[in-house]
Each structure stands twice: as structure tokens, then as C-alpha cells.
């Protein structure tokens, strides 16, 4: 179904005329040339394509553009503000929490969604919250540590 979709992408308004049944992932990657969100499974099973939609982590491979109408979408490219890395990005670097890096954008965006919902999660809550994201290189230990570090830093920033 062709139509106009208006939404906010990384804090900037976007208006697109397209088939509104198209998946958000491919619109981001092709029409909008944001390649940080990546295809891993196409069925919402691996989390590699995760972006934030209205502050919730969503699988962009199974989300249609119609669902994005009027929403706020954030991709990994929108995370660093004013050229400064987000605490989650810094924490992933600090803990070297990736190997091949293909899942990393999705991991970071899922973690961001988790921390929006639960700013100071227990370790077990991090594991529950991230359970749908796969990392074949298995950097899981370091990703958990990175999320813990980021949660502390984001908490500190909120207080100051």
C-alpha cells in the first residue's frame, strides 16, 4: 500500500512516500542509507536489526513502515550526540565487548531499550532482557559487563 510515512529518525523529521508494508530494516538500509542495523535472520529471531521505536527495542526486520507512522525511531547512528559516544558505546569499547561486530549495533540498541525500561538492572535482568539477541562469536560475558558499566554511568549522569 503506497502512502506517506512521517516519523522522527535520530531526532530529525523524515517523510517518505513508499509502500507502507515494507520492512523498516530495508528502508533504513537502502532508502535512508543507514547500514548500522543489519540483517541476521529476517524473522525477529536474532536481534541484529534492533532499533528503538518510541524508546522500545524493536526488531526492524519484522516491523512495517506503517507501524512507524508518527513514531520516534533511533538507530545506532543516532546514539552518539555531538560527536560524543554514548555511555553504552563507551562501555562496549571499554570491555572490548565484540569480536566480528556484526551483532553489535543490535546489542547496543537492545541494551538501550532495556536500560530505558530498567535503569539499574540486576545481572539476571540483563540476561533476561538480552536473551533474544544472538552473538555467534559469543562475547556475551563482556556484553553483560558493558551493560552494567553503562547503567552505572547513565545513572550518574542523570543525578548530575
Partner 1 sequence: MSPKDTQDKSHNDSPPSQGVNRREFLRRLGITGGGIVVFSPFGPKASWAQRRRTLSRSGFLSANVPTDFNAFLRISADNRVTCLTGKIEMGQGVITSLPQMLAEELDVPYESVDIILGDTDLCPWDAGTFGSLTTPYFGTFLREAAAEAKGVLKELAAERFNCPVSQVKTKDGTAFNKKNPSDKVTYGELTQGKIIERHLDEIPLLKKPDQFTIVGTPRLSRDVEDKVTGRAKYAGDIRLPNMLYARILRPPAHGAGLKSADTTEAEKIKGVKVIRDRRLIAVLHELPDVAEEALEKVRAEYDLPEPAVDNTSIFKHLEDSAPSGQVFKAKGSLETGQKLSAKNFTATYLNHYVAHAPMEPHTAVVQIEGDKAIAWISTQTPFWAKRDVARALRFPSENVRVITPFVGGGFGGKTSNQQAVEAARLAKLAGRPVQVAWSRKEEFFYDSFRPAAIIKVESGLDLSNRIAYWDYDNYFAGTRSSQPVYDIPHLRVMSRGGWMSAGRAHPFRVGAWRGPGSNTNVFAMESQVDLMAEAAGLDPLEFRLKNLKDKRMRRVLLAVSEKFGHSFAKAPSEKGYGLACSDYHGTYVAAAAQVSVDKKTGRIQAERVVLAQDMGQIINPAGAEAQMEGCVTMGLGYCFTEEIRFKGGQVLDENFDTYELPRFSWLPKIETVLINNPAMDPQGGGEPPITVMGAVMANAVYDAIGVRLFELPMTPARIKKALG
Kindly list the residues in this chain that would bind partner 1 in the complex (CB under 8 A).
Answer: 22-23, 26, 29-31, 33-43, 45-46, 48, 75-77, 79-80, 85, 88-89, 92-93, 96, 98-105, 108, 126-128, 130-144
Closer of 112 and 159 to partner 1 (Cβ): 112
- Give the nearest distance from C-beta 160 to partner 1 in angstroms: 23
Measured from the CB of residue 75, what is the shortest distance to partner 1 in angstroms? 7
Backbone CA torsion sign across 27, 33, 37, 40: positive
Nearer to partner 1, 88 or 160 (CB): 88
CB of 103 to partner 1, least distance (A): 5
Three-state DSSP class for residue 124: helix
Q: 121, 131 in Cβ contact below 8 A?
A: no
Q: Judged by CB, which is closer to partner 1: 76, or 151?
A: 76
| Residue 102 to residue 86: CA distance in whole angstroms | 19
Q: How far is the CB of 70 from partner 1 (least distance, A)?
A: 22
CB of 2 to partner 1, least distance (A): 11
Q: What are phi and psi of 129, to 5 degrees?
A: -70, -25
Which lies closer to partner 1 via its Cβ, residue 71 or residue 74?
74
Cβ distance to partner 1 smaller for residue 148 or 159:
148
Amino acid at each position: 500500500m503506497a502512502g506517506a510515512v512521517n516519523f522522527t529518525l535520530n531526532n530529525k523529521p523524515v517523510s517518505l512516500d513508499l509502500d507502507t508494508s515494507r520492512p523498516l530494516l530495508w528502508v533504513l538500509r537502502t532508502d535512508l542509507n543507514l547500514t548500522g542495523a543489519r540483517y541476521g535472520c529476517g524473522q525477529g529471531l536474532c536481534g541484529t536489526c534492533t532499533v528503538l521505536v518510541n524508546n522500545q527495542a524493536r526488531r526492524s526486520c519484522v516491523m512495517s513502515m506503517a507501524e512507524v507512522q508518527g513514531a520516534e525511531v533511533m538507530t545506532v547512528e543516532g546514539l552518539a550526540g555531538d560527536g560524543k559516544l554514548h555511555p553504552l558505546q563507551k562501555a562496549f569499547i571499554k570491555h572490548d565487548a565484540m569480536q566480528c561486530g556484526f551483532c553489535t549495533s543490535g546489542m547496543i540498541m537492545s541494551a538501550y531499550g532495556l536500560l530505558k525500561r530498567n535503569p539499574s538492572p540486576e545481572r539476571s535482568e540483563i540476561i533476561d532482557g538480552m536473551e533474544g539477541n544472538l552473538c555467534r562469536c559469543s562475547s556475551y560475558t563482556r556484553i553483560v559487563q558493558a551493560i552494567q558499566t553503562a547503567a552505572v554511568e547513565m545513572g550518574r549522569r542523570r543525578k548530575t
